[in-house]
Amino acid sequence: MENKNNDILDEVTGAEYKYGFYTDLEMDQAPKGLTEDTIRFISAKKNEPGFMLDYRLKAFRHWQTLKEPQWAHVDYPPIDYQDIIYYSAPKKGPKYDSLDQVDPELLETFEKLGIPLEEQKMLAGVAVDAVMDSVSVATTFREKLAEKGVIFCSISEALQKHPEIVEKYLGTVVPFTDNYFAALNSAVFSDGSFVYIPEGVRCPMELSTYFRINAANTGQFERTLIIAEEGSYVSYMEGCTAPIRDENQLHAAIVEIIAMKNAEVRYATVQNWWPGDKHGRGGVYNFVTKRGICAGEHSKISWTQVETGSAITWKYPSVVLKGDFSVGEFYSVAVTNNRQQADTGTKMIHLGKNTRSTIISKGISAGRSNNSYRGLVKAIPRAINTRNFTQCDSLLLGDQCGAHTFPYIEVGNRSSVVEHEATTSKISEDQLFYCLQRGIDMESAIGLIVNGYAREVLNKLPMEFAVEAQKLLSISLEGSVG
Amino acid sequence: MLSIKNLQVSIDGQTILKQFNLEVKAGEIHAIMGPNGTGKSTLASVIAGRDLFQVDSGEITYEGKNLFDMAPEERAREGIFLGFQYPVEIPGVSMANFMRTAMNEKRKHFGMEPLSGAEFLKIMEQKKKLVDIHSNLTNRAVNEGFSGGEKKKNEIFQMALLDPKLAILDETDSGLDIDALKIVANGVNKLRRKDNATIVITHYQRLLEHIIPDYVHVLFDGRIVKSGDKELAKQLESKGYEWIKKEILV
């Protein structure tokens, strides 16, 4: 069975990336490289208010004093930050009244991605703010949301229409001084999403954004800001695929979430960017800072992520539990195959009393990949009676991959309870043969077993995402060895 | 249906089955008995296609085809079912999802449309009754948290859903109390037809009081040393395997 499994593994890992295509749009882009002029160009291009340019410049100056961090369990050649184009936008106007006005080539791209907007509008009841190379090109369900006072738009638009809200909250959860990539993003972010849920409002639909990297050699610097006022609720979904590229693409996004008293924010991600070929060439570097703050009492922030793409994933969606009785959750499935590297996990920072957090992390490694969980659970002396439960499981497929766990626990008081459970397992020959004997072939069997393993996390996803995520897991791993 | 001729099987250079011959026709139930370590489970595994074992010589034909040309999943789809001695747990995979996948693979193999969720659930509810399963299998994972008896009932339940031509039940009676044994045996009897066959592998005679075999074979030292009808099983029960050993030596 060993040899046969290896053959299948080779065959599957040799398969071409399913979503490998790209659209040739006339680009309106900044010259290569990063200087203060680049930042002024971006800000001017987007007609931003003065405070935004000041913020960007401060971030840039700070970034220049920093060195790229090296501590993650990942390995990649040095990035030449002067060899990156920091801004590009589809040339044709950014907004349309109807789909007819949208660049047909762009629509075709969405078709290939399997996200026809029309169908989504009708079937899913989901408002889609589609980000194509940094500029929003289609927004739906605006009116329905507006009725409730929900603002859901691109951050560029928010800067035009609601600059006071952006100015008040941008950088309050992830300041530009936070880390190297946060500083870079703060200086050059191109676009992203903005969500504002007013007090007491339950957002009437799942919000979703499809990000997509499309221009050759263009870094993608998304910036997302979600504010949930007192007693409000929102569920936000983000999913992405990307075309094949020879050169590595740097992606350094920031997501900030603010949940006020009694507010709840659920943030789900399915990430499937081009992971590079089987020799590790190409692929997206996904260096992301995602953090939410439970600012008020009894607030709740929940991160769910399914990570199957990118050459390198480096991210820790975190929750600062500031309000007493607030709740933070992190549910993650991270799949690595071939030469992919992932160093991902979370940080739960307990500042308030009686705060609770749950971490469920499922790492799946195949091929020659490396998959690391890195998590911090911290409770300050004031944060009495806090609880954390962490479960950290690793599943290995084949014998050339690696799974690593780096848990950090810092508890500053005697009443807090922190639990950590960890397991490492392999898909057994017995499980595979059991499936084969029931007529299920090897690839389907692995898909079934892996989806079963990740079910606890997949169940946390909104329905339409769960289906997509299950397919993704099977595609990413089918044929790997037990 | 199944014809095994001069089969020799080894693992790590050690011969387990040798000069093994067996003919199974449609409508028949064969019992294979023997002391532990004589190759009973090996036989089941080889027919099902587990490649832990090395087939050194001999041939197996199933429905006129060379079994060794067929992959394990193909054998299953063509109607060979193995009831496992130790059914494995597959955490997180619901029984419903597992069996629907299995049934649809088989249907696909025969060019049939896959079952819809509703159609499948209907069939599943029917078959559950056959082996007295009451729990909701749509949210229980495959064998996870099942008691020993439930696991064995679950094997027969799967057999009922897949409707095999040739079922091999490997020590299905082990670990069963008398009530569960009756349920399992009853299930097997109800599934019996003129066009299918069953091989019951067992160490003890007690299962054969409930599943009446047409033939009983005694496996010893890798080959069938004695064949007979159900009376042979009773003789074995009263005289023990030592009796067979002596008889062979004579």
For residue A448, give the nearest of B51, B101, B109 by CB distance: B101
| CB pair distance less than 8 Å for A452 and B84 | no
Residue A22 has pLDDT above 60, yes or no: no
B interface mutation test: which of A364, A434, A437, A459 has the most B CBs within 10 A?
A437
Write out chain B residues lying below 8 Å of A454, CB-based: 92
Best of B41, B67, B90 to substitute, by most chain A Cβ atoms within 10 angstroms, is B90
HSE-CB at A300 with a 13 A cutoff on CA atoms is 16
Tell me the two tokens of residue A68.
Answer: 């790229």
Q: Is residue A95 scored above 50 in pLDDT?
A: no
Exposure b/e, B92-129, CB count within 10 A at least 16 = b: bbbbbbbbbbbbbbbeeeeeeeebeeeebeeebeebbe
Q: Would you state the pLDDT for residue A127?
A: 44
What domains are there in chain B, each with its CATH number?
2-249 (3.40.50.300)
Q: Find all residues with CB under 8 Å of A218, minimum gap 6, and list them.
A: A29, A84, A85, A86, A87, A88, A133, A249
**Looking at A222-226, A375-379, A452-456, A475-479, which range is the least confident one?**
A475-479
Cβ count within 10 A of residue A93: 11
Token reading at A133: 């190379």
Is residue A211 pLDDT above 80, yes or no? Answer: no
Rounded CA separation B182/B132 (Å) = 11
How near does any CA of chain A get to the CA of B18, in Å? Answer: 23
Report the pLDDT averaged over residues A319-334. Answer: 96
pLDDT of residue B24: 96
In chain A, what residues touch B142 (CB-CB under 8 Å)? Answer: 434, 452
CB B20 within 8 A of CB B53: no
Tell which wins on pLDDT, A12 or B240. B240
Alpha carbon distances (Å) from B37 to A434, B220, B222, B232, B233: 22, 9, 9, 20, 18
Query: Would you place residue A221 in the very low, low, confident or very high pLDDT band (cuts 50, 70, 90)?
Result: confident
SS3 content of chain B, % helix, strand, coil (to 5): 40, 30, 30
The band of A10, judged by pLDDT with boundaries at 50, 70 and 90, is very low
pLDDT above 90 for A321? yes
CA pair distance A136, A128, nearest whole angstrom: 10
CA-nearest of A115, A99, A214, A434 to B98 is A434
CA distance B145 to B87: 12
Question: In this structure, how many other beta carbons lie within 10 angstroms of the beta carbon of residue B136?
Answer: 11
CA dihedral B167, B171, B175, B176 (to 10 degrees): 40
Of B82, B93, B106, the CB nearest to A437: B82
DSSP A153-211: EEHHHHHHH-HHHHHHHTTSSS-TTS-HHHHHHHHH--B-EEEEE-TT-B-SS-EEEEE
DSSP B146-158: --HHHHHHHHHHH
* B212 CB burial (10 A radius; 0-12, 13-18, 19+): middle
3-state secondary structure of A319: strand
Looking at CA atoms only, how far is residue A1 from chain B in angstroms?
A: 6
Structure confidence at residue B177 (pLDDT): 86
Strands A127-132 and A135-139 turn out to be antiparallel
On whether the CB atoms of residues A210 and A236 are closer than 8 A, the answer is no
- What sign does the CA torsion over B126, B128, B132, B138 have? negative
Can you list the pairs that B12-17 forms with residues at least 24 positions away whose Cβ atoms lie under 8 Å? B15/B56, B15/B222, B16/B42, B16/B53, B16/B222, B17/B42, B17/B43, B17/B46, B17/B222, B17/B223
Judged by a CB distance cut-off of 8 A, whether residue A456 touches chain B is yes
Residues on chain A touching B47 (C-beta within 8 angstroms):
none
Question: Alpha-carbon torsion A449, A451, A453, A455, what sign?
Answer: negative
Report the distance separating Cα A349 and Cα A105, nearest Å. 45
The beta-carbon neighbor of B101 closest among A429, A430, A440 is: A440
Name which of B46, B88, B109, B151 to mutate to probe chain A: the one with the most chain A Cβ atoms within 10 A of its Cβ.
Answer: B88
- The two tokens of residue B234 are 């009773």
What are the pLDDT digits (tens) for A399-419? 888 899 999 999 999 999 999
- Residue whose pair of structure tokens reads 């064949």 in the numeric block: B227
pLDDT greater than 60 at residue B64:
yes
Q: What are phi and psi of A468, to 5 degrees?
A: -60, -40
Chain A residue with minimal CA distance to B88?
A431
Looking at residues A12-31, what average pLDDT do you find?
51
Chain mean position to CA A293: 17
Q: SS3 for B71-87, per residue?
A: CHHHHHHCCEEEECCCC
Averaged pLDDT score across all residues of chain A: 80
Place of tokens 């003065």: A50
DSSP conformation class of A2: H
Lowest average pLDDT, out of A97-111, A115-129, A242-256, B209-223, goes to A115-129
B98–A448 C-beta distance less than 8 A: yes
Average pLDDT, chain B: 91
Q: Which two tokens stand for residue A37?
A: 């002029």
Mean pLDDT of B163-190: 90
CB-based contacts of A67: which residues, under 8 Å, 6+ apart?
Answer: A180
Alpha helices in A330-462, H assignment, sequence order: 429-437, 442-453, 455-458
List the structure tokens of A36: 């203060």
